Amino acid sequence: MNEILHKLPEFVGNHLALSALFVILLLALIVIQVSMLFSKTRELTPAGLTALINRESPLLIDLSAINDFEKRHVPGAKHLPMSQFDPEKKDLANARDLPVVVMDKDGRGNAPKAAQRLVKAGFSKVHILAGGVLAWQAAQLPMAKGNK
């Protein structure tokens, strides 16, 4: 170990770009981990969502386009277009103490925005399905079709 530490300055001097890239990636990883630690929303894997469904009765909100929702969605999910998404709406406001899971087609659309709006409205147990409905399907979990 002592030998490695003695050769480290020479390595850094000979490979400045590689060393700088390592430091940048390390800092980015630290920032991401710290932001996840203090985030009021949690990402769930499909397996994590299955466990949550089995333990509690979360409200599942699917923000996918209506055609995508009708083709495939997580069983029990309610379709709610982002244009009509309002955390202060009576239906949602009544679920303030329940776990709420928001999802979209691929996890990169409106789900993170909707989750932040729920947190700002006072919801305390807000989750996002990582990878969206496509991740649920890829995990070969049951799918529902139609508008219910």
Which strands sit side by side in the sheet containing 126-129, from one edge to the other? 41-44, 126-129, 100-103, 59-62, 78-79
Whole-angstrom distance, CA of residue 61 vs CA of residue 75? 11
- How would you write the pLDDT of the chain (148 residues) with one tens digit per residue? 788 888 989 999 999 999 999 999 999 999 878 876 666 788 899 999 999 999 998 999 999 999 999 999 999 999 998 888 888 887 777 788 889 999 999 888 899 999 989 998 888 899 999 999 999 999 999 999 987 6
Closest by CA position to 62, among listed 53, 70, 51, 54: 70
Question: Which residue spans within the chain are E strands per DSSP?
Answer: 41-44, 59-62, 78-79, 100-103, 126-129
Residue 110 sits at φ, ψ, to 5 deg, of -90, -10
